[in-house]
Chain A
């Protein structure tokens, strides 16, 4: 007896679950049950699940009966010629919607010619076996599966035009590609996804060749002239937000150009972009540390001195400044308010990012790389027609990854550019033979290879080199937002150790395992030096081993417990001193026993 559930609720049992499912589906197809009903039999749990509730994701499939698709070839033609409507097909139960559960029971053929007696359904189109992200990849059937995975993952990171109202918005960060191109080699689903209206890449002339070692390890050589023409140029927007609060006692934050008497006043240069209101002027170029909004807030503490400060002296500078690595031009200033009615000022800073050495680019085949060298056009190889590649990719990127689709896209792109037409690279649709013959017809070698001439010497290269056109994404991993180094710099207040993170100009941690390497090399002195960033000299009482007091005014050191003056200075990590203090706060009395005492 198998259990039967409707919308997840147990309603009864049935002897022959498969026949029940079959009968229910038959009733649905004869309009005796609603079309929205889906049934599934789970043989592992021996239960029938009937679902008619909302919220199930369903997809259309062509019904197959006795090894024949109900959607015939004639119907295909009729649909194309608008002689038949979708509604008609749907109402006649030629196409039905299955939910995820019923789909588990279905045996779905990908195309009409592979239907067998066992099949229950057929895909409307063979490309529908792919999801949204994978369906924008061209020639996916010619690549290894993992490459498609990488390819669709990186398409998500590409810079394009994500929103068309970006000029009106003030999101924290967003990147916009300056002159996006529609790919020459396209897929059918791009129209449906909307990539034809807001594409996110460029068609680049590619040459698959080495280049003096500057494109090893997947690096890319980029043509300087192409960059000047706008290849991969993007604009990075970043907004800086500040809010104006009210404090008790009637004090509040206010916008102004801070007066020099305000606590924490910056230099005059920092305020130079502000207008008389204290807000930055639009289209002014702001450097790192430059003030975007002049803002003063009341002092948090009144200070040690008991005198009551009056007027501006009672305020501190709390201006909104440009953080590290975000310099640019002020795009716009937005003034609004939050739910409590506090004033909010948001300043959007824009910066044009031309591709530079270290920026990341990728194709639709998971072939990613970092720009390794920007080369003047005259030094790059050229073809007999005078075509100079935009990118030069190392041939080692191909064999181990087996991205045959990439090679085919290069050739197909070449055909498309030469013939002035778009090439269809949808799954199972593109035919290598067709592409080859059309390239031959256009007067080129059918494998896309061409003789190249060395740009420096003008000599013909010994081997023909694959050149063509491929679609490149510029990914939002820009070096200018990642580059980081430090020699000396800020330290954390509590531990006296260097700060962490790029935004705080922090150090790169020498961690536990790195420490072990120094020890394994037998270099503890080097290790001590590297860990010496928080080195301090602490006066310690020789008798009781507690940290002593160093009184600068009386110019003497004495122990707070035994009051004597037998003190030694001991050098130690400040973090260790901190730990001793924390132990003391836990009523543990750690003593330092100096040697020879």
Chain B
């Protein structure tokens, strides 16, 4: 699609043809003469070419300004916003920062899960939701108490809730045993009595056991604290708080092709870097649009491309793109001046002065825009010199 020509990326002619082809079909339908059609097509093609960025345009700066200027307007507005369905998902500037800084995990990871056609009923959706939502022992118990006479811990289960979630008490015991070693659990109606296989059991042991028991994972996927079913159109959609693409995708009935997460790193790990790039674009577009900002996608595409070009996600900032600039002076100009200067001094690095900031610093014309062009002209005298040299 693209070819590299003398260091400048020039768009392939076929792309132009593809785009114009769409319009040409419509032009052909028009009730005008063939000559006019030709003229229209030509002017359309010219117009399309006019929209190209010019050689030397500072598209990075333009993209940065196009995103950050409207972002300053949104700053003062809400930090957190309820996302309509009762889940609080980070919105606005904090979310945008989160994406550009490439934080390993978002503050509020979330997923949007669609179901396969045959599972698209309310009951099945609720069932799937309950199998996704993380359930710990503390969620399904009414009371836990210490029996100091027998030195045991008693856990009273919520009968209704376990029936609803269809968890068998013996499964709870086995789940606990897997997590905590040297433990015996006996089921006594609604209660489970846990006894430690230890000679001397102190009250302190029982207390720590009690708190450990509460956190034992019984059902669902770890990290997904909420899962809500919502009907949008004909589909029953599951919204989750917490994200785990790998495990959720293994659950039966889920339409993997339409599953969305906002955890970009997780996407990069499970689906791949291209998907992560797409998610960066869509997440920023959505958060900006929620704040009433309409930024051209092409700016975001550029940002997403540069963030993912190395194969993994790089942040925009000190430890990411800005930190990996080749020029010492440009890095020193941004952040951690001393660190960069000292490193350069120790390693004896030289700066070629090819970037913009370096040249602004020393007072030279930066190599962008009109500064890229140099005119080599043959004056009369130089031509004569050349001729003399030939002789």
Partner of A524, one of B54, B345, B371: B371
The answer to whether the Cβ of A519 comes within 8 Å of any Cβ in the partner chain is yes
The answer to whether B363 and A519 have CB atoms under 8 Å apart is: no
- Specify which chain B residues have a CB less than 8 angstroms from the CB of A562 in the assembled complex: none
What is the 8 Å Cβ interface bit string for chain A, positions 190-231, against chain B (1 contact, 0 not)?
000000000000000000000000000000000000000000
A119–B58 alpha-carbon span in the complex (Å): 67
A535 in the interface, Cβ–Cβ < 8 Å? yes
Chain B CB within 8 A of A257 CB = no
Q: Is B61's CB within 8 Å of the partner chain A?
A: yes
Binary per-residue interface labels of chain B (313-354) against chain A in the complex, 1 for a CB within 8 Å, 0 otherwise: 000000000000000000000000000011001000010000
The reply to whether A573 and B366 form a contact with Cβ atoms under 8 Å apart is no
Q: Is A484 an interface residue (CB 8 A)?
A: no
For A573, the closest partner residue in chain B by CB is: B363
Beta-carbon contacts under 8 Å, B45-87 to A: 54, 56-58, 61-62, 64-65
Chain B residues near A521 (CB-CB < 8 A): 369
Contacting residue for B362 out of A573, A588, A593, CB 8 A = A573
Q: Does B209 contact A (CB under 8 A)?
A: no
A100 within 8 A of B: no
Shortest beta-carbon distance from B355 to chain A in Å: 11
- Does B62 contact A520, Cβ atoms closer than 8 Å? yes
Please tell me if A531 contacts chain B, counting CB pairs below 8 Å.
yes
**A29 interface contact, C-beta 8 A:** no
Closest to A593 in B: B350
- Do A525 and B361 form a contact, CB below 8 Å, given A520-B58, A520-B65? no
Interface residues of A in 507-536 (CB under 8 A from B): 515-517, 519-525, 527-528, 531-532, 534-535
B363 touches A522 (CB 8 A): no
Q: Shortest Cβ distance from A161 into chain B, in angstroms?
A: 39
| B360: interface (CB < 8 Å) | yes
Q: Does A387 contact B (CB under 8 A)?
A: no
Verify B61–A523 contact, CB threshold 8 A.
Answer: no
Contact across chains for A528 and B361 when beta carbons are under 8 A apart:
no
Within residues 341 to 390 of chain B, which ones have a CB less than 8 A from any CB in chain A?
A: 341-342, 345, 350, 356, 359-371
A573, B361: Cβ atoms closer than 8 Å: yes
Q: How far is A134 from B175 in the complex, measured between Cα atoms in Å? A: 65
Cβ of A576 under 8 Å from chain B: yes
- Quick check: A515 and B360 within 8 Å, CB to CB? yes
Chain A residue nearest in CB terms to B371: A524
Task: Check A492 for interface membership: any CB of B closer than 8 A.
Answer: no
Which chain B positions have C-beta within 8 A of A583?
341, 345
Chain A residues near B342 (CB-CB < 8 A): 588
Closest B residue to A522 by CB, please name it: B369
Given the complex of chains A and B, what is the CA–CA distance between A535 and B54 in angstroms? 31
Answer yes or no: A461 CB below 8 A from chain B CBs: no
A88 on the interface (CB 8 Å rule)?
no
The answer on a CB contact under 8 Å between B58 and A519 is: yes
Residue numbers in A under 8 Å from B62 (CB-CB): 520
Which residues from chain B contact A531 at a C-beta distance below 8 Å? 360, 363
Q: Determine the chain A residues whose CB is within 8 A of the CB of B371 once the complex forms.
A: 524-525
| Residues of chain A lying within 8 A (CB to CB) of residue B58 | 519-520, 522
Give chain B residues whose Cβ lies under 8 Å from the Cβ of A532. Answer: 363
* Complex CA distance for A528 and B64, rounded to whole angstroms: 22
10 further A-B pairs in the complex, CB-CB below 8 A; given A524-B366, A525-B371: A516-B61, A517-B65, A519-B356, A519-B369, A521-B369, A528-B363, A532-B363, A571-B363, A573-B362, A576-B363
Q: A interface vs B, CB < 8 Å? A: 515-517, 519-525, 527-528, 531-532, 534-535, 571-573, 575-576, 583, 588-589, 591, 593
In the complex, the 6 A-B pairs of residues with the closest C-beta atoms, listed nearest first = A522-B369, A573-B363, A524-B371, A524-B366, A588-B345, A520-B61
Q: What are 15 A-to-B residue pairs whose CB atoms are below 8 Å?
A: A519-B58, A520-B58, A522-B56, A522-B368, A522-B370, A523-B370, A524-B367, A524-B371, A527-B360, A527-B366, A528-B366, A576-B361, A583-B341, A589-B345, A593-B350
